[in-house]
Structure 1
């Protein structure tokens, strides 16, 4: 619990100790810093199980998968024929 309080207090005090060496942007948590670093490195570890498209953040994958439900197969599925 004390770690949650510490992070919360840092958010209000402007404490951002993680600085991107590529662009200089700063972050207050390792999670957000590491997620940002993947954009510079071209890492996209989150792959859609319905098509071959991959994403740098889990939230982007969840949004994409929701589109499969709303709109049907995306262009990736139509192009590649899915993974199955």
Structure 2
């Protein structure tokens, strides 16, 4: 009778361990999925920052060209050329 009870207890312990291992793996998997989601959001944010940097540098170039053209055109209308 003791062997039967011991075998039953070992099976019960084995099932409890399997359950804990599965819970641990599921928890790890969900943590991994969350981390993957955050990494994807981070990559998206990096892309958006790079895009904004590109747009800002393009805008800066346009502003410099615009104001550069204005300063050149103002020098064309200097007081010497008007008289």
TM-score w.r.t. length of structure 2: 0.25
Select the structure that is richer in helix: 2
Select the structure that is richer in strand: 1
Mark the structure with the bigger radius of gyration: 2
